Amino acid sequence: MNENLPSHEPARGLPPVAPPSGRFLVELFVKPGLIVMVVVGFLLLFNYMTSSITNQSSKYYLSRLDSDNSDIRWRTASDLAQVLLRNEPDSIKLKANVEFALELTERLKTAHDDLVAAEAAHLQKIEKLSAEEQKLSWRKLRSARDHVSFLMSSLSCFHVAVAAPVLCDIAQQDARVQGGVALRKRQAVLALAKLGENVRQFGKLKPELQVLAAEQLNQEAAGNTSRAGWARLAGRYLPGASPAGSDLAVDARLSTLTMADDPFLRTLTALSLSTWPGPQGHAALVLLTRDDGHGQLIRLEEADY
Amino acid sequence: MTTPISSSAAAERGLVLRGLFLLALVSGIAIAVIALLVRSAPPQANNQPKVESYPPVVLTPQAAFPAAVPWLGLYEVSERMPSAPGWQTRYTATRVLAELGSADLPWYLVHEMLDEQRQLRNFREVKDGRLVVDEPAARETVLSTLRAIATWQSKQPTGGAVPADIQAAVVELAQSPIIQVKVEAEKTRQAIAADTR
């Protein structure tokens, strides 16, 4: 017997070699495959459901934002906020929609005017209450304040500057009424900063979207209404146009806030001027480099929100 | 002829040797990582005397004004104090002017914003009765200023140059023991050097 031939018997301790059974193949391939298919199916379903939110038209959002039912309004606001924060094609199309932006701007102006009137009336009503009761009484206006805040944030996501004049109006409002006004002014300036950044991105949109937006602005700019004025100003911020030198230009209006009594508002103004360049804005920035911190820093309390 | 027993013993010995080799390798990696962490630890606390001990040095009431005030001492005190009120607004406006490539950039403010120690004094606040320093915020001021200088330089036509004292401050920051500051300062130094050639 040749002692050098290798032995075909398995070494001690190792399992016997056998071909894979059908059950083994099912456990190895079919079960994992089914798990992966279920997970992918869930992901596709989720995508479909979210895209169905994105695909809604501007008219759908406007009609539901105007609903008498507050639940419907706030759910629609939540959906719209999610859509505006995305960078999908349908979201970008919505954010370049001039008519939608103008409709929302009109609602912001109306809501803000109503809120200012309500705050003035409320201030007269609570004069005789104690300080603590006065603080708690402002909660009644929270819903209206949240609505204005939501509209400002939404309009800051658009790629056209139609909301800029109204945001400037809010930012320049007299803040002597109450801390809630100071918060609103700060939010307006921050919204302008974000809007300025998004308006700069207009040139990166698809050419057909840019052409459509420019045409819509031209159509809306005809007339003597406030809405036409907003469209005209927004048209001056399209690539190639120049708003420089106009007192209505955003940098000119922001530059008036260098005199604001709230130091934090002045800091936010400097930040916002980075996205609205212009000669008056530049002069305002140079002035702000000599800021001495004067004024009273308004510390916000729960009643102000 | 090799017996099964001796071949399994040899296999086991080989396994042990491989295990010991891997242990030595992993230990070496762990030691190297610990050494790197220890080397890049934050610097020791500033041994400069606290600014609160300066006022007695400044006041010498024996002589009439202006001789009563040691002006050099007063300058030294100002260099150890936080920035004057309104620094948040001034710094934001300066950074924006730098990012816009403005010719009116106030370089004295840029110099102040690059001063790490000054920023650590600016970002002090009292919390629960203790003085707390917000180091990340202070460091971010320095880092954003370095980035803004690089942006300013990139927007200058030929001839625009960062002043020598700012360049010296950037070079000094490029030696910082803090990796983030060192890397950003080096980028800024290279950006300045590339555009001034």
Identify which of A164, A167, A294 has the alpha carbon closest to the alpha carbon of residue A233.
A164
Q: Which two tokens stand for residue B196?
A: 């001034």
Burial B24-59 (b: 16+ CB within 10 A, else e): eeeeeeeeeeeeeeeeeeeeeeeeeeeeeebeeeee
Name B116's Cβ contacts closer than 8 Å, sequence gap at least 6.
B138, B139, B142, B173, B176, B181
Residue A13 has pLDDT above 80, yes or no: no
- Structure confidence at residue A53 (pLDDT): 54
Q: Which residues of B touch A (CB under 8 A)?
A: 1, 4, 84-90, 92-94, 96-97, 99-100, 102, 104, 106, 109
- Structure confidence at residue B43 (pLDDT): 54
- Structure confidence at residue A114 (pLDDT): 94
Show residues of chain A in contact with B4, CB under 8 Å.
11-12
Contact A293 B94 (CB under 8 A): no
Amino acid at A192: L
Contact A293 B85 (CB under 8 A): yes
DSSP string, A220-234: HTSSSSHHHHHHHHH
Identify the residue with better confidence: A244 or A67: A67
Contact B94 A289 (CB under 8 A): yes
- Structure confidence at residue A16 (pLDDT): 82
Q: Are A144 and A152 in contact (CB under 8 A)?
A: no
Using the 8-state DSSP alphabet, how is residue A66 labeled? T
Show residues of chain B in contact with A3, CB under 8 Å.
1
Q: How close does chain A come to B1, measured CA to CA in Å?
A: 8
Identify the residue with better confidence: A131 or B134: B134
Average pLDDT, chain B: 83
Identify the residue with better confidence: A5 or A294: A294
A294 touches chain B (CB under 8 A): yes
Contact A289 B90 (CB under 8 A): yes
Identify the residue with better confidence: A13 or B86: B86
Using alpha carbons, list the distances in angstroms from residue A208 to A157, A203, A214: 20, 11, 10
ipTM, 2 dp: 0.77
- Structure confidence at residue B37 (pLDDT): 83
- Structure confidence at residue A1 (pLDDT): 46
Q: Over the stretch A106-128, which tens digit does the pLDDT of each residue have?
A: 999 999 999 999 988 888 888 88
Amino acid at A298: I
Q: Are A196 and A206 in contact (CB under 8 A)?
A: no
CA quadruple A228, A234, A238, A243: dihedral, nearest 10: 100
Low-confidence ranges of chain B (pLDDT < 50): none
Q: Over the stretch A141-175, which tens digit does the pLDDT of each residue have?
A: 889 999 999 999 999 999 999 999 999 999 998 76
- Structure confidence at residue A8 (pLDDT): 54
- The H-assigned helical ranges of A126-262 are 131-137, 142-155, 164-171, 179-200, 207-220, 226-235, 250-255
- Structure confidence at residue B7 (pLDDT): 72
Instruction: Write the residue in A11, A12, A273 that is nearest to B96 by C-beta.
Output: A273
Q: Are A166 and A248 in contact (CB under 8 A)?
A: no
A263 touches chain B (CB under 8 A): yes
Residue A182 has pLDDT above 80, yes or no: yes
- Structure confidence at residue A244 (pLDDT): 59
- Structure confidence at residue B78 (pLDDT): 66
Check the CA dihedral B42-B44-B45-B46 and report its sign: negative
